[in-house]
Amino acid sequence: MQRSLLSFAAVLLIGGGLVWWHANQSPGVARLPILENKAYQQRSRGAPRLALVIGNGKGYGGSGFRPLLTPESDAEAMAKTLTDLGFQVTTAINADKATMEGRVRALTDAMRAQDGGTGLFYFSGHGVGLKRSRRNFLIPIKARIGNEADVPYQAVEANWVVERMQATNPHGVNLVFLDACRSYDVPSLTMSGGTGLAEMPNPQGTLIAYATAPGKVAYTAPRERHSVFTASLLRLLQDEQEAGTSVASLMIDLTAATETHSLGLIEALRVHSPQEAAGLEPQTPWVAMSLRQHFCFREPCLLARHQDDSAQRQMEQKMQALQERQVVLERMLREQQRPREGTPSEALRTQRQRDPQGQAEAAQQAAPLDRPTPIPAQGLDPELVGLPGGCFQMGSPASEQGRYDWERQHQVCVKGFAIGKYEVTVGEFRRFVEASGHRMGQCDWPSGKDWRDPGFSQGDDHPVACVSWNDAVAYAQWLSGQTRKDYHLPTEAEWEYAARGGTSTRFWWGDQDPICRKGARNGAKFDDNATCNDTGTEPVGSYQANPYGLYDTAGNVWEWTCSAWANPYDGSERGCQMTGDADRVFRGGCWRAEPRYLRSAFRSSYSPGSRVSDLGFRLARTL
């Protein structure tokens, strides 16, 4: 197999022959047929779906294997997700060797009785790969392993699991997910067997998805409920569109999502512990697939497409977009982090859901752009600018310098709304924390810092940083309660509409880069004589306002929006997603961002629990 940005190899049965398809090939080199498979549709209706899910995180004792934080929650979440997808699931948490082998036998016996269905095996925990024999072993609790010779007698052989599934379900679909490439402390294994799992033979009718490439180690971040691989897999399986497409397409997205997540963790580690991060590489899942039929996790399977090449072009565009986004993330993460933690609190679940499909109504109210209306501060109400509704071209044209594929230009209409003239300041946020008792955590980067001390000097008139999406939403809820007005984070569409100020150029002032080319510090306008500051934020309003009278829409701190990330745009940019742990979009560049990231169309995302020293927010309000 070849290793690449999107390295996975799939064997597909096409016209009776086996064809290797590498996802890293250039568009058009190897074309994946998108067909209406009526035979599959008929077979899949009512076909049994059986799954065994095992998570071993605790109970390794003195075997040399460290306790793992996530396998229990990995397995529980995977079991629930698979149940929702129609699987009959058996779960084993912290299982010993006898329990693991007994559950495997029970699964495969049930598969034999219903040959032709789908069997799935998922394991999260420690694993050992013996490369010379291409044998992999899954470590049960209470295993007593001192050297390589102990492994076959103390562990459960993954090859046996795969072979038994194929033997008992030769006419069905067999899926194996091994999140087992964890680090361990058995020196003789490290020297002889190597770290990670080995690539093992893949029988026909089987898909094997390894959490990372052969011989590599998978990652888990502190404070996260799931491993990098499992978090990415769960996110895709819980997405209706992803789960309803071919498993081949889903594996491409799994590879890209896992790599992106792991890059952020490596860069976060590199900032505060360069020695530990030295030599680490992005985690790239490795998939071997020799399925004899199409499979989708959610029925009906979306295999039918137009008879022309439109579906193939969509597949190729999707792959290209994933590759381009990976490139820019690698560049951005040299300057900033992509850590993830937490999910919205229960209090957030009561927040009003704003209509993500309100474009038609907004279009009816759209009017030609008019002069913005200043709304003065009064009491706790911040200074705002009222904007009339209107339609605009969101995103960037293909000709724009420095653009990325996920900025696809399209028309969007917004209703009239008000938005903060400035970013929320340290002083305003302190008033909220002291009045509400809201509990704040430390920054994910830099380590050991928080919103009161983000790692550089700030006054009360600086934009607050090291605040998560959850913190920003809590602030908006508190202010709404205090003022009886509807404050919220702006949608992604509202944010760009306001930031552009009626312009269609790269920046609101035109197409020329800001004066501080090294880092576009705080969005200094290209003809300003302002001093460039590359050490931290500036007081809000230090630079020129855009045509709508809004300050710092390009620079100072990145700004949260309430919208979930989607690539390509799918309408999510017009609404808020107030529940779940999906990434939320942030916009606007920051004090240490390169000029291309300050463009009005640039977009990226973090998880809602992330706190970073260059990320803050501004509020919007319903008129």
Write the pLDDT tens digit of every residue in 141-190.
Answer: 988 887 777 888 889 999 999 999 999 999 899 999 999 875 543 333 33
The predicted structure's pLDDT at residue 37: 38
The predicted structure's pLDDT at residue 61: 65
Share of the chain above pLDDT 70, in %: 72
pLDDT band at 371 (very low <50, low <70, confident <90, very high): confident
Cis peptide before 382, with omega less than 30 degrees from 0?
A: no
pTM: 0.49
The predicted structure's pLDDT at residue 574: 95
Tell me what the mean pLDDT of segment 286-291 comes to: 87
How many C-beta atoms surround the C-beta of residue 379 within 10 A?
7
pLDDT band at 418 (very low <50, low <70, confident <90, very high): very high
What is the helix, strand, coil percentage profile of the chain, to 5? 30, 20, 50
Share of the chain above pLDDT 90, in %: 46
Cis peptide before 222, with omega less than 30 degrees from 0?
A: no
Distance, in Å, from the CA atom of 527 to the CA atom of 375, rounded to the nearest integer, reads 29
Higher pLDDT, 224 or 459: 459
SS3 55: strand
How many C-beta atoms surround the C-beta of residue 259 within 10 A?
24
Nearest-CA neighbor of 170 among 109, 102, 117, 104? 117
- Tallying the residues shown for the chain, one arrives at 623
Across-strand partners of 413? 391
Domains and CATH numbers, the chain: 41-224+281-293 (3.40.50.1460), 348-622 (3.90.1580.10)
Among left, alpha and beta (phi > 0; psi -120 to 50; other), residue 619 is: beta
pLDDT band at 379 (very low <50, low <70, confident <90, very high): very high
